């Protein structure tokens, strides 16, 4: 459960109050916890929606529960969670079906993860290939600097330049 509460959380707001600017909206939502990145991301022009990214899902829950039922008229954001966060929210609240769904999702994520040893082996192999390529390039460049190009009209090659290496 801690893993869920400490993961990121996204709240979708389907109504932008006309009298609030971006900074005021950021201030309202940042009261409940730290925002991820810029925090508030607006949709397409004239879409009248935005979403808020929280660093911690537990902060997103606090904001959601505080602002969703705000009937005072001060803020009417029409809040909802993103699809994945909706499942996490229902699981935190005790919905058994959501808990099973989350277990299935996390089980699949564990199978997808590449373990660190495999990643290190791949990186080491790439580094070895890079080292070999660097050595080949260095050798080529040193040979290329030593050779002289002679113009030969009878050359079989397209560029009429024939390299000659010193003996």
Rounded to two decimals, what is the model's pTM? 0.57
Give me the residue spans of the domains in the chain.
Answer: 2-112, 114-149
Domain topology for 2-112: Alpha-Beta Plaits (3.30.70)
CA 65 from centre of chain: 27
Non-local (6+) Cβ contacts of 8 within 8 A are: 36, 53, 54, 55, 56, 57
How big is the CA angle at 84 (ends 114 and 97), to the nearest 5 degrees? 100
Q: For each of the chain's 167 residues, which pLDDT tens digit applies?
A: 667 777 888 888 888 777 777 788 888 888 888 888 766 777 676 677 788 888 888 888 898 888 887 655 566 778 888 888 888 888 888 888 888 887 777 766 655 555 566 677 777 888 888 888 888 887 777 766 666 666 666 666 556 666 666 66
Element (DSSP H or E) covering residue 4: helix 2-5
Q: Report the length, in residues, of the chain.
A: 167
Beta-carbon neighbour count of residue 10 at 10 Å? 19
């Amino acid at each position: 459960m801690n893993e869920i509460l400490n993961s990121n959380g996204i709240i979708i707001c389907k109504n932008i109050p006309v009298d609030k600017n971006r900074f005021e909206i950021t201030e309202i939502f940042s009261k409940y916890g730290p925002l991820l990145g810029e925090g508030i991301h607006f949709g397409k022009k004239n879409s009248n929606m935005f979403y808020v990214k929280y660093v911690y899902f537990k902060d997103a829950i606090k904001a959601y529960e505080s602002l969703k039922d705000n009937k005072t008229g001060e803020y009417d954001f029409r809040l909802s969670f993103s699809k994945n966060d909706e499942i996490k929210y229902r699981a935190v609240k005790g919905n058994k079906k959501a808990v099973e769904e989350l277990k299935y999702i996390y089980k699949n994520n564990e199978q997808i993860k590449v373990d660190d040893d495999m990643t290190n082996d791949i990186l080491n192999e790439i580094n070895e290939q890079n080292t070999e390529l660097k050595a080949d390039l260095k050798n080529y460049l040193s040979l290329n600097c030593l050779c002289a190009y002679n113009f030969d009209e009878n050359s079989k090659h397209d560029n009429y330049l024939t390299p000659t290496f010193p003996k």
